Chains A and B, each alone.
Chain A
Amino acid sequence: MNRANPAQPEPLLSVDDLRVQFATEDGLVHAVDGVSFDLRPGEILGIVGESGSGKSVTAQTLMGLTRSPNASITGSVRFHGSDLVTATEEQLQSIRGREISMIFQDPMTSLNPVYRVGAQIIEQIEAHRDIPDGEAKERATELLASVGIPNAKERVDDYPYEFSGGMRQRAMIAMALALEPRILIADEPTTALDVTIQAQIMALIQRLNEERGLAVILITHDLGVIAEVAATLGPGAEDRTDRQERFEELIDRFEATEDPIRHQMATVMTSFVAGLFVGEDEWEEIRDNLDLERWFRLPKSHERRIHGRRHAGVRIVIEGATLVHALDAHAAHPEPYSVEDLLPYRTAQEPPCQTEALNRRKVMRKARSKKTRSALLADLERRYRESPPS
């Protein structure tokens, strides 16, 4: 952690013009279209966007998990002097889980149901380190305890189905942290959990960020999640009244826009990011030059950052254009920013297009086997089950 020189530490991970395309039966799908961002040590980077905008594909591409004969990946992901886009599978394997870890949206399905929770953590440890089973198990128990699993000594031998959803996500986090990675990619880590558990998981991620200087890429469609992170990390220098006014003004401006999706997202995001946490000068600049197109397709050079004494912050990236801001974590303001201000704009449920996006993704993944998985075979198998031959 380079906190002595907070001005501009070297990026840990540097993504430049990342593009991912999938060949499907319906033609080429541009899942990720020119994303660029830097992740610095100890930073929480928020990637926010509509469902289907390519957030998860971006995250998985960072670790090479989207590689397939049907995928074309260009651009670069620089990590420790190597480019993860062109790295060999072996290189990626040594980075996955050890340098960069990932947790996923649905903890209910992210753990293998037939292995004990502890065994799955041990598996991760032993994939990268040559240590005896007993030691690995002790480490797994410690990890579970450290993410707040009560009775970790006994629970380590439980199967995933014996864990609740929140506990499973904790276990996933424990697993992700097993080898003390530098980067944690959290892909919608709370979407599948209920609200109280969501807050606990986010608090845990933030604690790890603060205590261990873990850099986090936080992916979500839910502005509320980002809002909570931002709220705890610290408010801008403005007082409440000002924020409220700005908020309302921005909403008015964006409500006048035509495009419905842009309208919805724009309202929440820009008001939140731009309006609430900037200094007076910048606010005026923003207000005077507010232009929707520019906000959404902000070229990289326009990226704004405010760096405080400590480099921890939230930036928000949307559909490839890096939109804006690091928050000063230790700003002078004594009163934490209230999340409630944003709650009316919180996306309570995933927008309907999410399901469609999910389906599309599934179809894409299945495409490779579609031809051989013919109707003929399905028919054969059904007949076989109905009357086994003798």
Chain B
Amino acid sequence: MEGMGRFIIRRLIGMIAVLFAISVLVFLIFNVIPNSDPALRIGGKNANQQLIDRINKDWGFNDPLPEQYVTLMKKTFTGDLVSYQNQRNVIDQIKKGIPVTFSLCIGAAIIWFLLGVVFGYLSAIKAGRATDRALTILALIGISLPVFWLGEMLLYYVANKAGLFPVGDYVKFTEDPLQWVNHLILPWFTLAILYIGFYSRLLRSNMLDVMDEDYVRTARAKGLPERQVRLKHVLRNSLIPIITLFGLDFGAVIGGGAILTETVYNLPGVGLYAGQAVASLDLPPLIAVTLFGAFFIVLLNTIVDVVYAYLDPRIRLGTQAA
């Protein structure tokens, strides 16, 4: 697999370039938007001019921008990055949030992928019939429900009134796996429901297209049972674009796409942290969270491409652009 090695190296270089570009962008934008002076944040509400000046000097906010950028990046990668707002170590905060975000996103992703495939498959093989119609309506409803609304509704009716699940909060898997699941079921479905809708619709239309392919007719002409034709030939080929989308969506959700869900359910994940950083215009967490998100999006993208090459042998990694 010489092509694979070269591909990975190229992707790594690409990843560094992407992360660099994103950090520069965030840094520059932060510096031009109004009311973002970090010295004011560090000094607190009652800071006088002298204090501000001293902070500016001590923290190097008077240095030229490139120098400030380099310092910031150095701190990011040595783990010394500190929030302007509350002087807490940013990297520690993110590390704390990672298990929560991963628990939420991985669980939701498994749910949305499996249910999306099952519903899409059913919808496609029953195309035009009652099952299909019902699933279509469900999918459209799922797509139309905003996460914050759905989350609140579930919290109020299912968790609060019916008392089926705990109201928000997070329990570590290592502490109590059952409670971990119990606390996460509502967030999982809240996050997944939109994607279930999209994936089932997408898979349905992919499958209907693939069903018209000549090789499906060939498979039938061979005398294969209909089930085998559908699973091995139709579904297998229809899944290829779905996998791509899945990788991208999963990366996006980990890299900050779960903000709303984490906020509604009060899950102390990276998304919630990112939300707070945005609200308080706090540069260090912003940069770190953005890099975190971008890293996962690029990483998942690379994984998708490798999987893609495995799923569709016509694609060769060596010839693809980084």
Contact = CB atoms under 8 A, between A and B. Distances in A.
Interface centre among B127, B136, B311, B313 (most CB of A within 10 A): B313
A380 B143 contact: yes
A104 to B, nearest CB: 6
A346 to B, nearest CB: 25
Interface string B229-244: 0001100110010000
A102 B256 CA distance: 53
A365 B313 contact: no
Interface stretch (A92-100, A238-246, A259-267, A282-290): A92-100
B41 interface: no
Given A114-B237, A161-B313, A381-B202, A104 B223 contact: no
Contacts of B314: 113, 159, 161
Contacts of A127: 222-225, 228
Contacts of B143: 380, 384
Interface in B193-213: 194, 198, 201-202, 205, 208, 212-213
B213 A94 contact: no
A86 B86 CA distance: 79
B172 interface: no
Given A89-B226, A114-B237, A371 B128 contact: yes
A110 B214 contact: yes
B223 A93 contact: yes
A38 interface: no
Contacts of A111: 215, 218
A2 B194 CA distance: 65
Interface string B173-207: 00000000000000000000010001001100100
A335 to B, nearest CB: 39
Contacts of A63: 221
A368 interface: yes
A101 B198 contact: no
Interface in A105-130: 106, 109-114, 123-124, 127-128
Given A113-B314, A372-B127, A373-B205, A102 B215 contact: no
Interface string A294-332: 000000000000000000000000000000000000000
B54 interface: no
A343 interface: no
A149 to B, nearest CB: 18
Interface centre among B208, B215, B312 (most CB of A within 10 A): B215
A112 B202 contact: no
B305 interface: no
Contacts of B236: 114
A175 interface: yes
Interface centre among B143, B213, B223 (most CB of A within 10 A): B223
Contacts, number: 110
B244 to A, nearest CB: 11
A375 interface: no
A388 interface: yes
B91 interface: no
B257 interface: yes
Given A369-B208, A373-B208, A95 B215 contact: no
Given A111-B215, A368-B128, A384 B222 contact: no
A4 interface: no
Given A381-B202, A390-B252, A114 B313 contact: yes
Nearest to B198: A384
Interface in B30-73: none
B260 A390 contact: yes
Nearest to B219: A112
B259 A123 contact: no
Interface in A152-190: 159, 161, 172, 175
B217 interface: yes
B312 A113 contact: yes
Contacts of A65: 217, 220-221
B232 to A, nearest CB: 8
A124 B223 contact: yes
B218 A389 contact: no
30 contacts: A60-B217, A63-B221, A93-B224, A96-B221, A97-B222, A97-B224, A104-B217, A106-B214, A109-B213, A109-B215, A112-B237, A114-B237, A114-B311, A114-B313, A124-B223, A127-B222, A127-B224, A128-B223, A159-B314, A362-B212, A366-B208, A368-B127, A371-B128, A372-B136, A373-B205, A377-B201, A381-B198, A381-B201, A381-B205, A390-B252
Interface of A: 60, 63, 65, 89, 92-98, 101-102, 104, 106, 109-114, 123-124, 127-128, 159, 161, 172, 175, 362, 365-366, 368-369, 371-373, 377, 380-381, 384, 388-390
Closest 6 CB pairs of A and B: A97-B223, A96-B223, A109-B214, A97-B222, A112-B215, A124-B222
Interface of B: 127-128, 132-133, 136, 140, 143, 194, 198, 201-202, 205, 208, 212-215, 217-226, 228, 232-233, 236-237, 240, 248-249, 252, 256-257, 259-260, 311-314
